[in-house]
Amino acid sequence: MKSKKAVFEDLPVSKALWVMAVPTVISQLINLIYNMVDAWFIGRTGNSYMMGATSLTLTLVMMNAALSNITGIGGGSLLARMMGAGKEEEARRVSAFSVWGSCAIALGYSLLLGLFTRPILYFLGASENTVSYAVQYTQLVLVLGTLPSQLSLTLAHLLRNAGYSGKASLGLSGGGILNMFLDPLFMFVLLPPGYEVVGAAAATLLSNVLSCLYLLFTYRRARQKAPLSLSPAAARQTEKGSIRALFSVGLPSALLTGLFDVANISANMLASAHSDLALAGLGITMKVERIPNAISVGICQGAMPIIAYNYSSGNAARMKKTIRTARLWGLAVAACAILLFQLFAEPSTRLFLDTSKPGVAEDALRTLAFATLFLRIRCLASPVQFINYHSSFCLQAMGRGRATMVHAIVRELVLYIPLMILLDKLFGVTGLAAALPAAEALSAMFALYLLKRNAPQN
């Protein structure tokens, strides 16, 4: 572990952050690309209703990721803090508890979706035009695929916080790269026309399974040098205080992502009330804007183990320098995002929908008009959105679960959703788009206050 500890303790902060964050950013981008590949290939059909269906299922996919944060972020953050405090035996038990806890949560979510697929999709805004496609995708990617996808995320978080950022990112990225090749094979070669959504879902399921198997293999090998375990007995021996500490960070982290998902559900429902094409346009925008978001989250996830380790070891100066450096990197990415999306909003959205297909071209053009409008307005939220991500990850790294939860509630329930409803009522789809930058700006000010209040003062 000596070479791994050097990243946390000795390397210059910029270099340490580079070592930890760059593989994570690459992993985030590759996984984003493979999630977008489904939408891109579905867009080749020119079918706006298929595109609308994938927008609905993205909400459920993100909820799955939110649930993985309970054991992934909660367990990973605690693992890094225990390593910093020299409690490696308990760190092993925490890692085992995280793995088996992830399996239990995934099976519960899978069962829920399997029993209530259609009612859930109708609640999210599905119509008779989109529900059959959404059911196909949900049953394969989530009902059957929740366990491997959620377990992969948890294993990657644990490996990253133990110092194996590159291997964790390789596992997640490998599944993404594989999916890029499997999508066209399943969608356009193995299955007949009309089954493109089934093909995309089958390719994603297979990719997630293979990614999970690789991460399990890597995790088993890493146990020889890092405080990691798969033992059910070790999981049962985890101290009650450690379990409380895990959930005190993991649950607020899941709530943060879950409430973000709830906000997206609200946006989808408001957009679908205007039309199925507005819903499809919003779905395209959400996919495009996830590019800078993925980089931002990658920077935050890369910084998180360094912050957690130095917080626990008492090196407040190194911890604060890591926070400042990561913040500067993220704001630079956000500024570039605004510039690029203002200049290239229409070409960016056009990538996701073919407007030349006979019979559907008019609907496709109207869908792109919505997407372009949404993107130009929503991208203005990029800098303050990063401040919210960054502050939340810093609070989680320090074990400040209550502050994370308060921030999530204020950000989504107190500010974003009410502003979304109000501005949509006053200004229609333009107001719906403008709610994001307005709410994120107000939330960012509150996030900075919470971070200042909870960080060590020395």
How many domains does the chain fold into?
Answer: 1
Q: Which tokens belong to 392? A: 């939340």
pLDDT-derived band of residue 380, with 50, 70 and 90 as boundaries?
A: very high
What element of type H or E holds 109? Answer: helix 88-115
Q: Determine the Cα–Cα distance for residues 258 and 247; give it in Å rounded to an integer.
A: 15
Q: Write out pLDDT tens, residues 50-88.
A: 777 777 787 788 788 888 889 988 888 888 888 877 888
Average pLDDT score over residue span 105-130: 87
Please state, for a pLDDT cut of 70, what percent of the chain lies above it: 92
pLDDT of residue 2: 44
pLDDT at 7 > cutoff 80: no
- Assigned domain for 245 exists: yes
Among 99-103, 207-211, 378-382, 454-458, the range scoring the smallest mean pLDDT is 454-458
- Token pair 């050097």 in the structure block, residue: 6
pLDDT of residue 60: 85
pLDDT of residue 433: 92
- Assigned domain for 277 exists: yes
Q: In sequence order, what DSSP letters do the residues of 239-289 get, joined into one string?
A: -HHHHHHHHHHHHHHHHHHHHHHHHHHHHHHHHHHH-HHHHHHHHHHHHHT
Q: What is the pTM of this model?
A: 0.73
- In the predicted model, what is the mean pLDDT of the chain? 85
- Assigned domain for 392 exists: yes
- How many residues appear in the chain? 458
pLDDT at 4 > cutoff 70: no
pLDDT-derived band of residue 354, with 50, 70 and 90 as boundaries?
A: low
Q: Do the beta carbons of residue 393 and residue 83 sit within 8 Å?
A: no
Domain containing residue 52: 2-453
Q: Write out pLDDT tens, residues 91-115.
A: 899 999 999 999 999 999 999 999 9
- Assigned domain for 458 exists: no
Q: In sequence order, what DSSP letters do the residues of 176-245 get, joined into one string?
A: HHHHHHHHHIIIIIIS-TT-HHHHHHHHHHHHHHHHHHHHHHHHHHHTTTSS----HHHHHT--HHHHHH
Average pLDDT score over residue span 337-349: 89
- Assigned domain for 15 exists: yes
Among 29-43, 199-213, 248-262, 270-284, the range scoring the smallest mean pLDDT is 29-43
